[in-house]
C-alpha cells in the first residue's frame, strides 16, 4: 500500500481487518518494523481520539511520533500561482516537500469548509499534500471521508455480531452545529463492502452524496428503519444538497432506548448527550462506543504497518 | 497503590520517600517496569515544572508519554443529565472512558474556580475522572490538593535538615492575584506526618481550611513565627473564609533576609520576585527552590512506580 | 564544545560540517550517546523546520525530546530587580535554573523585537538563559543570529558546488512584513569562513550591521551582483539603520529566472511565492530549498553530538 487516502487504497479490506485483529491480540508483535521511522501527524483541526489512537498505533510499531497543530505555527497557501502578500506564510508545495524531509509517513486531518461544496469535494488540502509530499499520506479525516473510522466500525461490528448478516442502521440525529459528512460517508462505503443489511435513515433534505449512497436503502421513517436492527450507528451531519446548512433540529430524531430496541449503539464520538442520544442509551450495556474508540488504535496500526511494509520493500 | 489522588492513597509515606531517594541516586534502575505502558497527562491549566518532572519521571521508568492541553481540543461537560446543546462537546463519562483506552495511567491538573467554594471542595473534575476512568488517576494539583508537591517538600527537607526535628514555618506572602490553597494544604498535610515542629503564619482572614489545619500552631505575627526556624516555606493563597478573595497585599509580609534568619528558603515556584520574596533571599545560598523543583521528578517517579507495580500484579 | 550560541563556540567549523556529512550518510551511527539524555526545546516564536529538524537530530542521537511553547504557559521576567506585580509570572533566573533540572541541553528560539535595537543587539533572552542555566544552550535563532541555518547553508553549498571557489550572492528581496536580520547575518558570517566569493546585494537603506558585513563586497545593482553567480541566497530583512522599518517593497527585487541565470536558488524557508521569488524559480530544478531544509537535521545533529561529547567527558 502506497498511501491511505480512501478505502480504494487498501489492497484488501479483509486483510486490513484481520491484521487489526492480530494487533489487538498482540500490540507489540511488530515493534521492530517502525524502528528509526517517524510518523508526522498534521492537524488542521483539533483531535482527541484520532491523535491518541494514531500515535499509539505508531508507537506500538516502534515509530517515533511528532504531532503538529498547523494553526499554532503558520497559515498555508494552497492556490497555484498565488502572490503571497497577505496572510499565508508558506505554500503547500514547500510545506509538503519539507515535511517529507523529516518524517516517513504523513498523517493529515483537514475538515471541510461546509461553505464551498466543490472545493470540499476536491479535497484540496489532502490532494495538495499527496501531490507535493514524497512520503505516504494517511487520511485522519478529510473534507469528505474518514476511512480509519469506517474501518474501525466494520471491525467493531465483526467483533460483536451474533449473526452472519446483521442489520445495520445509520441514523441521522439532531445537532446544533453544522457537521461534516465524512464519518457518515465512510461508514456507508465500508458497510457496502461488508456482509450486512445496511439501511440509512434521516429527515428529507439530509440525503448524503448519491455517489456514495448508490443503491443503499434509505428510509425516512426512523422508527421503521431501526426496527429489528442489530447495530444502530448514530451521527449528525449537515445537509449535503443545501450544502452545510442545519435544516432540522427535531428532538424526535434523538436516539433513545425505544428506538434502539435490542440493537448495539454505535457513535464515533465525541457525542452530545441528550441532543444526539439519550443518557439511557449511552449509559446502557448496549452502548459500545468505548470499545469502538479503543479499536481505532488497531485499525491505525494495521494501516501504518502496511505502509511501513511498502516503504521497506 | 491503585490511584494517587491524595496522601491517603499512599500505602506508606516513608516508603514513598525512600523510593524517591533510590530513584534520585539511580533514575534508570527500573526502566523496564514501564515498557509498553503510556502515561497520559491532562492539563486543564498550564504547567511547566509539573509537566516536565512528571514526563521525566515516566520516561525514567520506560513509559511512553502523551501530554494533552484540554482547552486546545474541546470543552468537557461534567453535569449529570445535561442536555449538551451549548458549548460543551463531550461529557467526562465518554472522555474518561476513551482516555482509558489509550493510556495506562492518567495524570490530571485541574485548578479551582475560587468562586464556588462547595464545587471546588467537591473536586468535581478529579472525582468525575476517578469515577469514569478505568485506569489509575494521578493528582497533578487539583482544586484543593497538590500532594506531589507536598511529598517533594518533605523529601527536600529530609535531604537538608541538620537536626532530627527541625522547625518548619509555612508563611503566607502577598500576591496581586487570587491563588489556590492546594500547595499550602498539601504542605500542611505532609508536614503533619513528618517529624517537624510546624508553624503556620498569615494575616487574619487567611486561615486555611480548619479540617486541614487541625491542631497545627498558627501565629499571626510573622516575625515571631519565623524566629529560629530551620525551614521557611513561603506561599501566597487567597482567603478561604471569604472564599477566593484578596484581602491583603501588605508588602511587610514579603519574605526578606531579616525574617529568614538562618532558615532555608522554600517555594514551589513559579514565584514573583520582590512581591512574594526579596531578591536577596532567592539569590542567597539559603534558597533551595531549584533543588526542590528538581526533586519533583523523583517523587513523581516513586508514585508512578507504585502504580505500575499494582497494574502489573 | 560547551554551548552553541554563535559560530565562535565551534571548536572547528570544518569538523562540524564533516560530522554533519557523516550523520547524513548514517543518521543512527551514534544512537547510544544520547541515551538517558533529554533535549528541551524552548520556543518564544513558532517554528516548523527548526522544531522538526532539531527534534529529529536529537532522536537520531537517542535523546528524549521535550518541546515547550513558552507563551502557552507563562510570561517570563528578564529585568534584574523587577518587582513582579504585573504580568510576568516567573523570572528567567528561576526558569533557567529549573529547566536545567529537567534537561541536559536547552535549545532556545527567541526573535528580536525589531523596535529596540540596543536590546535586540544585547540578545537579552539568550544571554539571560546562558547566565542562569546550568546546562548547555543551543541557539535555534536568536534576535540577531541563526547559526544552525548558516552552517546548513554552507553544508548545502559544499554538497552542490561544481567549482572550488563558487560565487555566492546574498540578495535581499521584498516582503510585506518587517523581518529579522538573523538569517542574513549568520549566512554572511558563515560564508566569510568558507572558500567562496561572497557578494551582498540590497537596496540602499538595507545595509546589514557593519560589524557583521566587514569588508564583504556590497553591490546595490541586483542584476550586476547576480551575474555569473553559482548560488543565489534570497532573503528579506527589514532595515538595520532605520531599525525594523520596511523602506522598500519594490517588486523588481523579486528573484526570477532571468536574474538567477545558471545559479542554484537558496532560501531558508518559509518563503512567500511571487513576492520574494517567482514560481518559475521555486518550481525549477535550480531550486535547492528542500535539500537545504533536510540538511538542517544533520547540522543540528552535529552540534548536539559535540555538546553531548562534552557533557560525557
pLDDT tens for residues B190-211? 999 999 999 999 999 999 999 9
User: Contacts of residue B99 in chain A, CB cutoff 8 Å?
Assistant: 52
Question: Which pLDDT band, with edges at 50, 70 and 90, does A70 fall under?
Answer: confident
CA distance C285 to C265: 9
pLDDT tens for residues B35-46? 999 999 999 998
Q: What is the pLDDT of residue B166?
A: 98
Whole-Å CA distances, A127 to A121, B88, C147: 11, 32, 36
Compare CB distances from B73 to A48, A176, A274 and report the shortest one's residue. Answer: A48
Q: What is the pLDDT of residue A74?
A: 80
Least Cα separation, residue A187 to chain C (angstroms): 34
Measure the N-to-C terminal CA separation of chain A; round to a whole number of Å. Answer: 11
Mean pLDDT of A13-31: 98
Q: In percent, how much of chain A has pLDDT > 70?
A: 100
CA distance A103 to A122: 26
Q: In percent, how much of chain C has pLDDT > 70?
A: 100
Mean pLDDT of A203-213: 98
Query: Is residue A46's pLDDT more than 90?
Result: no
* Mutant choice from B270, B274, B278, B299 vs C, greatest count of C C-beta within 10 A: B270
Q: Is C273 within 8 Å of A99 when comparing Cβ atoms?
A: no
Q: Is A293 within 8 Å of B98 when comparing Cβ atoms?
A: yes
What is the grid cell recorded at C24?
547524513
What is the average pLDDT value for chain B, to the nearest integer? 97
Question: Which pLDDT band, with edges at 50, 70 and 90, does A232 fall under?
Answer: very high
Which of B25, B10, B82, B70 is CA-nearest to residue B46? B70
Mean pLDDT of A215-233: 98
User: Contacts of residue A49 in chain B, CB cutoff 8 Å?
Assistant: 98, 102
Q: Is B98 within 8 Å of A279 when comparing Cβ atoms?
A: no
Q: Is C66 within 8 Å of B49 when comparing Cβ atoms?
A: no
Q: Are strands C64-69 and C38-43 parallel, antiparallel or unpaired?
A: parallel
DSSP code of residue C8 = G
pLDDT tens for residues C203-223? 999 999 999 999 999 999 999
User: Contacts of residue B178 in chain C, CB cutoff 8 Å?
Assistant: none
What are the DSSP E strand ranges found in chain C? 38-43, 64-69, 76-77, 90-91, 105-109, 137-139, 167-172, 197-201, 217-219, 231-235, 264-266
User: Contacts of residue C85 in chain B, CB cutoff 8 Å?
Assistant: 176, 272, 275
CA distance A108 to A43: 6
Query: Is residue A71's pLDDT more than 90?
Result: no
Question: Which pLDDT band, with edges at 50, 70 and 90, does A312 fall under?
Answer: very high
Which stretches of chain C score pLDDT less than 50? none
Query: Is residue B71's pLDDT more than 90?
Result: no
Compare CB distances from C84 to B47, B53, B274 and report the shortest one's residue. Answer: B274
Least Cα separation, residue B215 to chain A (angstroms): 45
User: Which residues of C lie closer than 8 Å to B, measured between beta carbons?
Assistant: 36, 38, 40, 64, 66, 68, 72-74, 77, 81-86, 88-91, 93-95, 97-103
Query: Is residue B73's pLDDT more than 90?
Result: no
Q: In percent, how much of chain B has pLDDT > 90?
A: 96
CA dihedral A236, A240, A241, A246 (to 10 degrees): 40
Q: Is A293 within 8 Å of B36 when comparing Cβ atoms?
A: no
Q: What is the pLDDT of residue B74?
A: 80
Q: What is the pLDDT of residue C24?
A: 98
Compare CB distances from B84 to A28, A47, A274 and report the shortest one's residue. Answer: A274
Domains of chain B, first to last: 7-145+296-312 (3.40.50.1370), 148-292 (3.40.50.1370)
Compare CB distances from B84 to A48, A69, A272 and report the shortest one's residue. Answer: A272
CB atoms within 10 A of CB B8: 8
Whole-Å CA distances, C291 to A104, C153, C183: 16, 10, 17
Q: Are strands B231-235 and B264-266 parallel, antiparallel or unpaired?
A: parallel
Query: Is residue A73's pLDDT more than 80?
Result: no
ipTM given for this complex: 0.96
pTM beyond 0.95, yes or no = yes
Amino acid at each position: 500500500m502506497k498511501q491511505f487516502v480512501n478505502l480504494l487504497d487498501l489492497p484488501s479490506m479483509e486483510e486490513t481487518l484481520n491484521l487489526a485483529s492480530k494487533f489487538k491480540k498482540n500490540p507489540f508483535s511488530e515493534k521492530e518494523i517502525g524502528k528509526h521511522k517517524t510518523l508526522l501527524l498534521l492537524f488542521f483541526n483539533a483531535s482527541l481520539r484520532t491523535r491518541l489512537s494514531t500515535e499509539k498505533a505508531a508507537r506500538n510499531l516502534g515509530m517515533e511520533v511528532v504531532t503538529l497543530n498547523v494553526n499554532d505555527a503558520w497559515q498555508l497557501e494552497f492556490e497555484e500561482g498565488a502572490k503571497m502578500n497577505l496572510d499565508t506564510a508558506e505554500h503547500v508545495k514547500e510545506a509538503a516537500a519539507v515535511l517529507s524531509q523529516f518524517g516517513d509517513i504523513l498523517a493529515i486531518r483537514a475538515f471541510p469548509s461546509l461553505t464551498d461544496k466543490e472545493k470540499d469535494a476536491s479535497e484540496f488540502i489532502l490532494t495538495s499534500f499527496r501531490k507535493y509530499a514524497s512520503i505516504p499520506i494517511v487520511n485522519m479525516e478529510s473534507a469528505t471521508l474518514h476511512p480509519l473510522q469506517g474501518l474501525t466500525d466494520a471491525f467493531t461490528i465483526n467483533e460483536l455480531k451474533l449473526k452472519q448478516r446483521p442489520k445495520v442502521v445509520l441514523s441521522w440525529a439532531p445537532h446544533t452545529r453544522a457537521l461534516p459528512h465524512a464519518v457518515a460517508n465512510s461508514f456507508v462505503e465500508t458497510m457496502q463492502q461488508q456482509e450486512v443489511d445496511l439501511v440509512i435513515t434521516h429527515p428529507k433534505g439530509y440525503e448524503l452524496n448519491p455517489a456514495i449512497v448508490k443503491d443503499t436503502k434509505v428510509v425516512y421513517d426512523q422508527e421503521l428503519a431501526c426496527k429489528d436492527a442489530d447495530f444502530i450507528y448514530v451521527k449528525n451531519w449537515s445537509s449535503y444538497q443545501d450544502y452545510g446548512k442545519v435544516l432540522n433540529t427535531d428532538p424526535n430524531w434523538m436516539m433513545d432506548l425505544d428506538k434502539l430496541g435490542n440493537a448495539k449503539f454505535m457513535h464515533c464520538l465525541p457525542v452530545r448527550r441528550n441532543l444526539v442520544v439519550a443518557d439511557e442509551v449511552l449509559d446502557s450495556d448496549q452502548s459500545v462506543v468505548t470499545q469502538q474508540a479503543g479499536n481505532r488504535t488497531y485499525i491505525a496500526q494495521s494501516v501504518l504497518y502496511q505502509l511501513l511494509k511498502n516503504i521497506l520493500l
